[in-house]
Structure 1
C-alpha cells in the first residue's frame, strides 16, 4: 500500500463510524477533519467531496459488518445453527456489532428519498442478507433439518424485517426488551419448521 493509499484508508476508517452514527447529512467534513487531524486540503486529495467519502463510508461499514457476520456464521455446523447465529449476531441493538448500529437501517432510512446511489447500495445489502438467510434455509431443507414445505424466501424476508424492526425499537427505547420478544418468536418459528 502506498502512502496515499494508507492515508485514504485511514480517513475512511475514521469517517465510517462517524457517518454511521451521525448520518450523512449531519456529518460535516470538519467532523472528519477533527477525527483524522488532517486539513481539508488533505481530505480532498483523497476524496473529491463529502458525497464521495460518504458513499465509500457506506461501503466500508457494510463490508465490516458483513465480514463480522460471515466470520460468525462460518463457525456454524448446521443450517439451523446458521439461522440462530444470524439472529444472535444482531440480538443486542443497544451494543451493536458496529459503532452507530446497523448501517442498512441507518443509511437506508436516511437515503431512501434523498440519495439514489446510497439507496441502491443499501438495497443490494438487504438482498445479500436475505439471500444468505434463504440459502441457510434451503440448505437445511436439503439436509433434512427443516420441513420440505418451508418457504425459504418468505422466511428470509420475515427474519430480516423483524430483526431490523427490533433493532430500531431497541435503539429508540435504549433497551433490548422488544428485541428479546422478536428473537424468541423467530426461534419458535425455526423450531416449528425443524424436523
Structure 2
C-alpha cells in the first residue's frame, strides 16, 4: 500500500458519538486511527510525553499510577490559555507524528482518522480526502456526556462552549452522520458510507 492512503477525517462535538461511529467503521474493515487513543498512550505510565509534561508542569500532575492525572490537567489548563498552549506544544507534534505513522502503515481500503478538533486544525484537514462529521442535538450531547462521565451539566456545557460551534462544524463537512437515534440508525449510515468510501478509495 502507498504511504498516502485515502483518509476520511472523522470529527464531532463531545458526546456526539465519534467512538461509536469509528468502532463501526473498524468492524466494516476500515483502518481506524484515533488521536484521542494516541494521546492516552503518550500520557500513560511510561508514555513518551510524560518527561516533558513532568518538566513543564511538575510532579503534581502525575498520578500515583505514574500516568498523567487527566482530571487535574484539565482543571489546570481549561481556563488558562497559556498553560493549554504549553500542553498542546508538547502533545500535538507527537500525536501528529504517530497518527501519520499509523495511517501510512494501514493495511485497509481506507483510513478513518478520528480527530476531535479536526475542523480547527489545518494540519489534519490537509491530510484528509473527506471530512465526516458525527452530529446530534446539543441536548443529546449534554445528556450523553453527563451519563458517561458524571460531570455536572454546567461543566459539560462549558466544554461544549469551548469547542467550535455546531453550525461551523457542519458547514465544513463533506458528509454528516445523524446520531440522534439509536445504534442501529448509526450503523446503517456508517455501512452506507463505508461502501461509498471503498469505491472512492479504489479509484
Task: Decide: shared fold, TM above 0.5.
Answer: no
What TM-score does the superposition give when structure 2 sets the normalisation length? 0.35
Q: Report the structure, 1 or 2, having the larger helix content.
A: 1
Which structure has more relative contact order (CA 8 Å, sep 6+)? It is 2
Larger Rg: 1
More strand by share: 2
